[in-house]
Amino acid sequence: MSYYDKVYALVRQIPPGRAATYGQLALMTGSPRASRAVGYAMAACTDSAIPCHRVMARDGVIREHAFGPGVQRAMLEAEGVPFTPDGRVDLARCRWDGR
DNA sequence: GTTCTGACGCGGC
DNA sequence: GGCCGCGCCAGAA
């Protein structure tokens, strides 16, 4: 059980239509400052069972991932995740509370 | 064991 | 309000 597995386990618990930030997941893993490590774990995510598209920066900005550019946003929209006009995820409404 | 890098976060200018 | 720099943790070389 590496740190990655811990992060993945949390990400898999994110319900459809919800989104979480790297810092939030880092906080749940027990290392509030490990946001970078969390992001790195997501970057290495190749398992389709892990909804890594529901994880983004604190600002709601989505970075391109291994699945392809633009795919992440499409998947989120398909799940009903609200987006702001400037192309960011509206974390104010779909932010996952961790439960 | 040491060093560098990275899907980040926050404070300061 | 936007841009720059430093610090954080974990993994790979």
Contact present, A11 and A25 (Cβ < 8 Å): yes
Per-residue CA distances from A44 to A14, A67, A85, A92 (Å): 18, 11, 29, 27
Q: What is the mean pLDDT of residues A50-69?
A: 89
From A19, A20, A41, A52, the catalytic residue: A52
User: Taking 80 as the threshold, does the pLDDT of residue A66 lie above it?
Assistant: no
User: Taking 90 as the threshold, does the pLDDT of residue A15 lie above it?
Assistant: yes
Q: Which pTM does this prediction carry?
A: 0.93
Catalytic, A45? Answer no
Share of chain A above pLDDT 70, in %: 100
Q: Can you give the distance from the CA of residue A13 to the C1' of nucleotide B13 in angstroms?
A: 40
User: Taking 90 as the threshold, does the pLDDT of residue A48 lie above it?
Assistant: no
Q: What is the mean pLDDT of residues A76-89?
A: 94
